[in-house]
Every structure is written in structure tokens, then in C-alpha cells.
Amino acid sequence: MKDLRYTFIISSVLLLIVMIFMSRDAGISCDEVLHYQQSESVFSFFATNGRDQSALNTSDTHLKYYGQAYDNLVTILIHWFRIDDVYGFRHIMSSLAGWAVILLTALFAIWLSGYRTGIIVLFLFAVSPTFMGHAMNNLKDIPFALGYVASIFFSLKVLFSEKKASFPDVIFLTISIALALSIRAGGLLLICYLFFFYCIRLACKNYGGNGKNLIIILLVSGAAFFLSILLWPFALQNPLRNVYESYRVMAHFPSTFRQIFEGKMMWSDYMPWYYIPKSMAITIPLIVMAGFIIFLAFSKKIFQKGKGLLYGLVIFAIFFPLIFVMVEKSNLYSSWRQFLFIYPLIILIAATGFSQVFDPVKKRLYRWALFAILFLLSVHPVKFMAHNRPYHYLYYNQMTGGLKGAYGNYETDYYFIGQTEASEWLISYLNKSSKDTAIVKATFSVDWQFRNHPGIKTSYCRNEERSQYDWDYAIITNRYITPFRLKNKTWPPRNAIHIIYADSVPICAVLERRTKADYFGYKALDEGRNSDAIRFFQEALKINDEDELIFYNFARALYSDGQFAKADSVLKRALRINPEFEPALMYLGNIAKVQGKMDVAADYYKKLLSINRKYYDAFDKLEEIMAEKNK
């Protein structure tokens, strides 16, 4: 036992060192930018005694509904200690939260079944690319996972330990629930769990119930709620009403996003019921899933040891949130990032499964064979992590053929991590070229990356609209690129001067503009100068014939100039580049409708709606056609 204890301690310390080291290479995610900006607004709210209300005015981002206490705490430390490398410090703090998740899960496993299981927990986390990737820069989902697993752990310790609940365990339980609730209003679920677990305890003959436990959980719930709102401006305005309002908004998040799933672009509020389970199944390493299955196979033996109820409640805490969102048909996006909080419990169950396999195996040869199997199952995720820093979170397991097989069928760099490396490359490129000034567009903010280069002006633009803006260089991730273009390798375009790869697939590209004729053409079109617009677009297409929006705007200019047939032809050229290009389909439908070709127009509108069910203008046009036919 002592040897296992020392192995556990040494392994934990080594993992901490590795994670802090890994955090130094972490990229800046899109969520991180938004939450850091909100944390600055929160800091200003408290620094001005509430006079600065920007933390409460978040109609675009809805961030007032997040407590995001860990983000806020990190920003407070940044101000107190005057830290210049803001994101570097944030990444260290994120890695510390990730390590704390691992440590608490391992301690949970030790409490349930001993040090061997705790050591296996450390190992399974270490070979989990998705979790390790998020642990480097996700100050929202990782700390929430910490609060969740710690709350389950200490809830069970307080309510089901043979001895009287210890004061430290009660304090840790309070802090754990407070942490989860202070990050997301969904942490209210943990208070419900606490009362549910108490009722389960009362119903079980093996566990005595008393009034003291009820008083403890009432005090814990009240104290946790109070602590959770201390750094949350919106909740402080009206604690009960606004926390509940936040929970309601988070359950059905108002912003919806399009993402690739099963080879199609889908809206996040119309995902199939199995979106989260499948996303987990194709990204969790097979070694973890194998451990989970082994646990189920050995469940009878485990239950006979008297721990069946405790493991049953752990499994409940895994599956209840999944079933809840499927029943509620919640707005889901970004793979299963929002469900990272249940992963520690999955690891716990998987580690217990592997630990049970070792029990009946006494011969050294067979034990080495089991170690060999564990090693082989871990090769795939470890190899991916070794070759794809800092893009661990992009991992897909063998069920999809890895990241290469998932490319174009599922989301990859949905967190825009590739923009950090692309920005660093572009800065080096401009320095070598002795260029002090440039206009850079990006598919998400890169202001921080270029903060020390005042001559380089950066701003956001959508990839598909890039031809309508003035820029010299563009940093484009593969988020929102259509599956057709990804699968047919027509992205990145030819004017990409640098491409960021993960596992041999492109996730981000730096584009260099070879002409601004497309931009000048759009300006002329916008100002009603159709002849000038046509001339500019013709010039632009001689240099860049890969951007479907240039063809679309060219067709608009031609149509306005009375060149209807040519406009139709140009739009069809746009569809050869991207058959799913929605503006071209809509315009072709409108042209056909004006020309009286109602069936042709209807076909375009129907195709458009099969691609994007929320293209409401197409619905309106179809209704007009149906109304005409029914006259």
C-alpha cells in the first residue's frame, strides 16, 4: 500500500509539472477572448462600486448570465499582481484547474476502491486528448468540471461515510457547490443532487438518517448559494430571480450556431437527440470506453463489495444531465465541450473497471499481458498528442478514422485555436519582409496577438464575406467552411501563404491578398456604379476565381445592368465552386421566379432550405409560388 501511495504522489506531481509546461504552448480560444473581456467588465463593476454597468449589458454575448467566477478571480489576480502576459497566466491557471479536476477524481477513486484505482485515474486522464486540450485554456468548462466532481465526491463522503461527517468535508462540499454554481447556473443541479442523495440515504437500511444531516445540507446549500454570487454582478442585482433566470437562459441558450455533424451543416438547436452521445463516442479514447464497459461487466462483483449504491449514484450523475438535455432538446454545439463536467466521473468508472480486472489475475505473466493491452489501447491518443501540440482537443478516435476521417464530417477547430499560431507566423513573416503596416482580418479577434504591433490593424470578418472588406492578410480557420469544400480540398484557397495543420489536415490558413479589385467592385456595387463594379469584378476574377461571393456580387452587378443571362451563368459558376452557397441559390431562384419559371424557382428554394432550414426568405418565396398556383 505504501508503494502505491508513493507512486500516486509522484505521478500526481509529475502530471502537474507536465500540464503547466504544456499550457505555455496553448492557443487563445474564441470563448477565452469573450470571457476575458467580460471579466474585465466585472472587475470594473466592483472597482467602480457598480457605476460601470457594462458587465450587465451583454445583449450580444449573453455573458451576464454566466457567473464565470474562475475567470473573474484570475482577472483580479492579473490586476493585483500587474501581470502583463494575460493569456499566458490564464493558461497556467486553467492547467491548475485541470490538474485539480484530475487530483479530486483520483482521490475520489482512492476513497472508493484504493490507490491502484487512483493511479489508473491519473493515467486515463493523461491519455485523454480532449480533456487535456481544454485543460490548457478553458476557464469555464474545466473549473465547472472541478466543482461538479468535487461536489459529488464530498456529497457522498458527508452523507454516506460510516463516521460522522467531518467539518473539513462539509466545508469542501460547500466550496465545491459554490464553485460550480458561480460559473454556471446549472450548478443548481448539485443542490438538488444533495437533497436527492439525502433521501436515498434515508431510504436505505444500511445507512441511518438523522436530523443533523438535514440541517447540514440546508446550511451547505444556503452558504454555497451565497458564496456563488459574490463575484457575479447580474446575480447580485436580485439573487433568487436572476440566478433562476440565468438557469432558464442557459438551458435554452438564445444564440444558435451552424456546425458540421455527420457531413452536414446543422443548426445547434436542431441537432439530433444523439448529438452529445455520438460526439463523446467518437472522441473519447477507446481505452476509456473499454474501462467503462469492463466496469459494467464486473458490476455484480463490485456491488457485492457493498459499494453498489455509491457507484450507482456516480453513474446517475453521469447519465442524468445527458438524458435531461436530450429530453429538453437543448441548444447544443461545439462537440461535447459543455459536458466535460461528466468526464471525470466517466474516468472514475473506467478506472474502477480496469482495477477490477487486476484483482483476480495473480500470475505475473498475465498481469504483464494486461499492461500490454492498456499500452496498446493508449497508443492512438498518445501519438496524436505527441504530434499535434497544442491541438489536443481536436482528437477523434479510431471509430471515425481519427481526425483525418472526421475532417469534413464533424467539427474540428471549433475553438479557433489555430489563429494563435497563424498570427505568430504572420508577425514573423511581416518582420522578415520589413512591413510595419498592414490590415489583417480574422475569423475571430486576434487583437491580443498583434498588441505589440501598432502598425498592423486587426479586425473581424466572416470568411465568406472577406472579399467585401479592405485587407492585406486574412487569418481564416476551418470553422464554418462547408463540408463540400473541406472534403473536396478546395479550402484553403490558392492565395494561402501559410497553412496550419493538425494530423495532416488544414485547420487554419493565412491568406495574402493579390488584388483589391473585388473590394473596389463591391464598393462600386454598393454605391450603384454598376459599370465600374462589372469592370472591377472582371479584373478580380482573373486573379481569384475561387471565391464564390465575388461571382455572386458580379452577378448582382450584371443583373442590375440588364445582363440577365450572363448573371445567371455567373451564379452557376459560383455553385460549381460551392454547391451549397446559399446566396447564389436564392438569387437563382429569384431570377427564375421573375422570369415566370416557377417550378425552377421552387427547386432552387427547396434545395436552399434543405441546406439551411432557417433561410426564411426562401420559405416566403415558396409560399408566394404556392399561392400563385392555387389561384
pLDDT bracket for residue 424 (50, 70, 90):
very high
User: Rounded distance, CA 194 to CA 197, Å?
Assistant: 5
* Res. 169: pLDDT tops 70: yes
- Angle, in degrees to the nearest 10, between helices 86-113 and 343-358: 40
Q: What is the pLDDT of residue 373?
A: 84
3-state secondary structure of 257: coil
Q: What is the DSSP letter of 469?
A: S
Q: What is the pLDDT of residue 270?
A: 94
pLDDT bracket for residue 629 (50, 70, 90):
confident
User: Rounded distance, CA 387 to CA 380, Å?
Assistant: 11
pLDDT bracket for residue 363 (50, 70, 90):
low
Write out the three cell numbers for 332.
447544443
β-strand partners of 506: 501
If we measure between CA atoms, which residue out of 102, 98, 128, 25 comes closest to residue 381? 128
Distances (CA, A) of 404 to 269, 385, 401, 407, 484: 27, 15, 6, 5, 15
Using one digit for the tens of pLDDT, what is the confidence trace for 283-305?
999 999 999 999 998 888 777 77
Write out the three cell numbers for 248.
432558464
Contact indicator for 443, 479 with CB cutoff of 8 Å: yes
Q: Which amino acid is at 617?
A: D
* Res. 631: pLDDT tops 80: no
Residue 507 is inside which H or E element, if any?
strand 505-512
pLDDT bracket for residue 433 (50, 70, 90):
very high
pLDDT bracket for residue 206 (50, 70, 90):
low
pLDDT bracket for residue 307 (50, 70, 90):
confident
User: Rounded distance, CA 577 to CA 588, Å?
Assistant: 15
Contact indicator for 396, 402 with CB cutoff of 8 Å: yes
Query: How confident is the model over 255-284, as a mean pLDDT?
Result: 95
If we measure between CA atoms, which residue out of 279, 278, 273, 276 comes closest to residue 327? 273
Q: What is the pLDDT of residue 343?
A: 98
If we measure between CA atoms, which residue out of 21, 26, 610 comes closest to residue 265? 610
* Res. 208: pLDDT tops 60: no
Query: How confident is the model over 60-87, as a mean pLDDT?
Result: 96
pLDDT bracket for residue 461 (50, 70, 90):
very high
Q: What is the pLDDT of residue 628?
A: 80
User: Rounded distance, CA 232 to CA 245, Å?
Assistant: 13
* Res. 162: pLDDT tops 80: no
User: Rounded distance, CA 459 to CA 447, Å?
Assistant: 7
Contact indicator for 158, 316 with CB cutoff of 8 Å: no
* Res. 209: pLDDT tops 70: no
Contact indicator for 268, 258 with CB cutoff of 8 Å: yes
Q: What is the mean pLDDT of the chain?
A: 93
Residue 500 is inside which H or E element, if any?
strand 496-502
Q: What is the pLDDT of residue 382?
A: 97
If we measure between CA atoms, which residue out of 543, 548, 556 comes closest to residue 574? 548
Distances (CA, A) of 396 to 186, 287, 393, 541: 28, 13, 9, 38
Ranges of each domain in the chain: 2-246+257-387, 418-512, 536-629
Q: What is the pLDDT of residue 344?
A: 98
Query: How confident is the model over 330-342, as a mean pLDDT?
Result: 94
* Res. 205: pLDDT tops 70: no
Using one digit for the tens of pLDDT, what is the confidence trace for 107-127?
999 999 999 999 999 999 999
Q: What is the pLDDT of residue 207?
A: 57
Using one digit for the tens of pLDDT, what is the confidence trace for 16-59?
999 999 999 999 999 999 999 999 999 999 999 999 999 999 98
Q: Which amino acid is at 544?
A: N
Asked if the bond preceding 168 is cis, omega within 30° of 0, the reply is: no
Q: What is the pLDDT of residue 300?
A: 80
Within a 13 Å sphere around the CA of 327, how many CA atoms are in the beta-carbon half? 6
Query: How confident is the model over 144-161, as a mean pLDDT?
Result: 96
Instruction: Look up the pTM and report it.
Output: 0.94
Q: What is the pLDDT of residue 212?
A: 74
Q: What is the pLDDT of residue 252?
A: 83
Query: How confident is the model over 508-522, as a mean pLDDT?
Result: 97
- CATH 1.25.40.10 is right for the domain spanning 536-629: yes
User: Rg of the chain's alpha carbons, rounded to an integer?
Assistant: 28
Using one digit for the tens of pLDDT, what is the confidence trace for 479-493?
999 999 999 999 999
Cα 321 vs. chain centroid, distance in angstroms? 17
Say which residue the cell 438518517 belongs to: 209
Alpha-helical (H) ranges within 329-482 are 343-358, 364-387, 402-406, 418-432
591 Cβ neighbours under 8 A, 6+ residues apart: 559, 564, 567, 568, 571
* Res. 254: pLDDT tops 90: no
Give CA torsion, residues 10, 4, 386, 94, to 10 deg.
-60
User: Rounded distance, CA 623 to CA 139, Å?
Assistant: 47
Residue percentage of the chain with pLDDT more than 70: 97
pLDDT bracket for residue 255 (50, 70, 90):
confident
β-strand partners of 501: 506
